[in-house]
Amino acid sequence: MEMVLDPTLDPGASSPLYLQLQRRLRGLIQEGEWRPGSRLPAVPELAQRWGVHRLTVLKALAGLKRTGWIQTVQGRGSFVAPRLPEAPGLRASSDFPFEGSPLLVHDGELGSWLGETLERVQDRHLVSFSAGFIPSDLLPGEQLRRITTQVLKELGSEAWVYSAPAGHPPYLEAVSRWLASEGEPIDEGWGIRSLPGAQSGLALALESFTVPGDRVLVESPCYVGILAMIRALGREAVPVPVDRQGLDPDRLASTLQRSEAKLLFTVPSFHNPTGMTQSKARRERVLAVARTHGVIVVTDSAYGDLRFTGNSLPPYRRLEGADNVIHLGSFSKSLAAGLRLGYLIAKDDLLRRMALIQEVQTIGQPPLLQAVVARFLDTGGFRRHLARLRRALKERRDAMVEALAEHFPPGTQVSEPKGGMHLWVVMPEGFSALDLHRDALQHGIGFAPGPLFFADGRGTNCLRLNFSTHDPATTREAIARLGHLVRRA
């Protein structure tokens, strides 16, 4: 009998057929078609039912076995596991305060936020709290100009050629010295490569270790840029909730029991968008869970240099058993957004796999800006700049928190990060951040509505506000106006 592909499977989709079938079988188990302990139909029968090759069925069953949904008995076949790896009962909403209302936005409501946000930054008539970057009044512009002039003279024509594929050697050496001075040296067996910003490192990890259709674990809420990238590259984002201590390791373990994934993206210090920081104990637990399941942990430390309160914490790569960690750093947030310069640190074996993709993507980065940053690091300019920047960011955070407490309605929850550039606001349930966003833009105020930061479109009563981009007086006045719009809604 000729096999006909089941209409629930799509050979043209980005997800391979075996993964589509794996999810379909898991769904039928959840729906009760096959009860715990019952025997699944034989492989030829499943292949006939869904119109696929028996090897596709075998790969789907192997995935279900790895994640604990089925068991195999030699000579007897496959059986539904007696105890299904269901998620534990949902905790009280207060345990995950950043998720806000369970209401979801409809497809198409959000639009292309990244491009629109960068365009709005140029609008001088708009007080925008959307994009996080160092504003012109806090940039070390004159120092960078002087160093650039010096470096241009020293490099001569070499300023305009490709650097080595891994990066300009003086830059890589200067970054390594800076990290060592901060108590975060690069250990033996690990390497460093230059990046055109941490965002390119996220893409590099995705393209090096996953294929279209793979599942990728993200925080809920998480950085909007990684969500957009996962979708654009045909991967599937799987959310794991964030509480006041950061990524929840119990929910991470539960998620990995129910479905396999290859990568986990996390922002452990001054999390984007909530501003929270994972404790050392939390980092160790998350790392242990990921290592048990063979998941690579990609840590985005773009805000790591911006702590203005409390003690620094070791990055994931410095924890015991961190062989599965890829560390991304950036100077776009701590020095100047227009630099688009960062770095990647990983074990040599992971680095070699990524090098093959990176060299195709970028060939080589221009040495000029790498040399400028190297000189700024080595002369102590970066350390002096950070001291000034941290003081200013704390003052701006305090101004925003105070204004929100004064002008927003009772019941509003506001995070108070100890560093970084943004904070998270949860409004009373039933409030629409999207409606407020449309109203605010008409009144010359911009911010990022909450649903942008969720893989499933929740967070409809949440908003992210960046406190870095405006002086305290401007922030207080704009938050007062935004609060007026909230109260009249």
- 88, part of any domain: no
Last residue of a domain, one of 353, 380, 407: 380
198 and 299 fall within a common domain: yes
203 and 175 fall within a common domain: yes
Going by their DSSP bridges, the two strands 462-466 and 448-449 should be labelled as antiparallel
107 and 195 fall within a common domain: no
How much helix, strand and coil, in percent to the nearest 5, is found in the chain? 45, 15, 40
359 and 390 fall within a common domain: no
pLDDT of the chain, 489 residues: tens digit per residue: 566 777 778 776 545 688 788 878 988 887 788 988 999 999 999 999 999 999 999 988 987 887 778 998 888 899 998 887 643 332 333 456 788 877 776 655 565 554 445 455 556 678 999 988 888 889 999 999 999 999 999 999 888 988 889 999 999 999 999 999 999 999 999 999 999 988 999 999 999 999 999 999 999 999 999 999 999 999 999 999 998 888 999 999 999 988 889 999 999 999 999 999 999 999 999 999 999 999 999 999 999 999 998 889 999 999 999 999 999 999 999 999 888 999 999 999 999 999 999 988 888 888 999 999 999 999 999 999 999 999 999 999 999 999 999 999 888 999 999 999 999 999 987 788 989 999 999 999 999 999 999 988 888 899 999 999 999 999 999 999 999 999 876
Q: Is the pTM of this model over 0.85?
A: no
- 10, part of any domain: no
- 86, part of any domain: no
Long-range contacts (CB closer than 8 Å, 24 or more residues apart) made by 88-96: 88/250, 88/254, 95/243, 96/241, 96/242, 96/243, 96/248
> Among all chains, which residue has been given the structure tokens 């002096």?
384
CA 206 to chain centre: 12
- Which CATH number characterizes residue 409's domain? 3.90.1150.10
Number of domains in the chain: 3
73 and 204 fall within a common domain: no
165 and 244 fall within a common domain: yes
Last residue of a domain, one of 380, 415, 435: 380
Please report the pLDDT score of residue 122 as a whole number: 56
Going by their DSSP bridges, the two strands 413-414 and 422-426 should be labelled as antiparallel
165 and 189 fall within a common domain: yes
111 and 171 fall within a common domain: no
388 and 472 fall within a common domain: yes
Please report the pLDDT score of residue 1 as a whole number: 53
Strands of 422-426's sheet in order across: 413-414, 422-426, 462-466, 448-449
Using alpha carbons only, how large is the chain's radius of gyration in Å? 24
109 and 172 fall within a common domain: no
> Among all chains, which residue has been given the structure tokens 């790498």?
370
DSSP 446-465: E-EEGGGG-TTS--TTEEEE
- 143, part of any domain: no
Structural domain for 451, as ranges: 93-136+383-488
- Which CATH number characterizes residue 23's domain? 1.10.10.10
- 7, part of any domain: no
| Residue 244 Cα distances to 120, 160, 238, 278, 283, angstroms | 31, 47, 20, 8, 13
- Residue 107, amino acid: D
What is the rounded CA–CA span in Å between residue 230 and residue 104? 20
- 199, part of any domain: yes
Strand residue runs (E) in 307-421: 325-330, 342-347, 413-414
- Which CATH number characterizes residue 191's domain? 3.40.640.10
- 287, part of any domain: yes
- 147, part of any domain: no
What is the rounded CA–CA span in Å between residue 172 and residue 174? 6
220 neighbors 265 (Cβ within 8 angstroms): no
Task: For residue 372, give every residue at least 6 positions away whose Cβ sits within 8 Å of its Cβ, in sequence order, or none.
Answer: 144, 147, 148, 151
Please report the pLDDT score of residue 2 as a whole number: 60
183 and 52 fall within a common domain: no
Please report the pLDDT score of residue 92 as a whole number: 34
480 and 447 fall within a common domain: yes
What is the rounded CA–CA span in Å between residue 437 and residue 109? 12
> Among all chains, which residue has been given the structure tokens 């930054």?
121
Last residue of a domain, one of 344, 359, 380: 380
